[in-house]
Amino acid sequence: MIESSPEPPPSADLIRLLFFGDVVGEPGRRALSDALPDLKKRLGADFVIVNGENAAGGRGITPKIAIGLLRAGAAVITTGDHIWDQGEIMPYLETEPRVLRPANYPDGAPGAGSIVLEAAKAKVAVLNLQGRTFMGPLDNPFLAAEAEVARLRAETPIILVDFHAEATSEKIALGRMLDGQVSAVIGTHTHVQTADESIFPGGTAYLSDAGMCGPAESVLGRKIEPVVERFRNHLPARFPVAKGDVRLCGAVIDVEIATGHATRITRLSEFVRCP
C-alpha cells in the first residue's frame, strides 16, 4: 500500500521532474520498482531520476539492478562514492550512458558524469557530482560543475544536478553558485531527508538531501542492532540491509521549459508496506 496525496499535473509550459534518493538494497529497489509506474502516473511526472548508489546489497549497483530500475521507469540513474563497489559495473558504464558516475572523477574513469536526453516535452540534462568534504579526494566539484553546466546549457536550460556529498555547507554552496544556471540541485548521500526545500532567487530549486528509498525501521537502511553495537563497543561488524516496510523519499520539481527555472519543489515521502 502506498500512502500519498496526488498532485495536479503541471501545465503544458512546465516539465515535472521526479527525483528519488539513494536506493538501499533489495527492499528499496523492489519497493521503488513496484511503485514507480503508479507514482509516475499519479504525480504526472515527465522525467524520473533515481540515485542507485546503494542498490546492490547496500553498496554500489550492478548492471542487472540498473536494467531493472530503467525498465521500471527511471530515465537516468545517478550514483556516488560507492559506484565502484561492484566490479562488474565498470564495463557496463561504457555501454549504458543513462547510468552516471560523478563527473569530477579524473579523466580516464569509466563512464560519464552527465547526460542529455530527449523527453516528451523537452530535452533534460542530468549532472552527477560528488563532494570532497569528509569524503574521498576527487577533482574539485565546483570547477567541474562550472565546466559541465556551461556545456550542457548549450543543449538545454533544463538541468538537474545530483550532488552526492556529506557536508550540508558544501551542498548549499554549490547550489548557490549554480543558482540561475541549473533547474535544481538535489543532495544525496546522507539517507536522511532534509526539510530545507526552496527555490533560490535565480530560479534554481534546492534540497540538501533527498533521503533514501530503503527500510523504514533501520539505521540509514541497515539493521539497527549491529549498528548500535558498533557505536557501543567500536568493534568491527557487518551491517546487513534491514527488512520490512520501506519509505521512498525524494522530490518533485516543476520547471519552466522555456527558461529552465524551477517554479515549485515538493518533498516526496511515500510509505510502502512490504510483505
Q: Is 82 a residue of the active site? A: yes
User: 82, 164, 191, 261: which is the annotated catalytic residue?
Assistant: 82
> If DSSP states are collapsed to H, E and C, what string results for the chain?
CEECCCCCCCCCCEEEEEEECEEEHHHHHHHHHHHHHHHHHHHCCCEEEEECCECCCCCCCCHHHHHHHHHHCCCEEECCCCCCCCCCHHHHHCCCCCECCCCCCCCCCCCCCEEEEECCCCEEEEEEEECCCCCCCCCCHHHHHHHHHHHHHCCCCCEEEEEECCCHHHHHHHHHHCECCECEEEEECCCCCCCCCEECCCCCEEECCCCEEEECCCECCECHHHHHHHHHHCCCCCCCECCCCEEEEEEEEEEECCCCCEEEEEEEEEEECCC
Known catalytic residues are 82
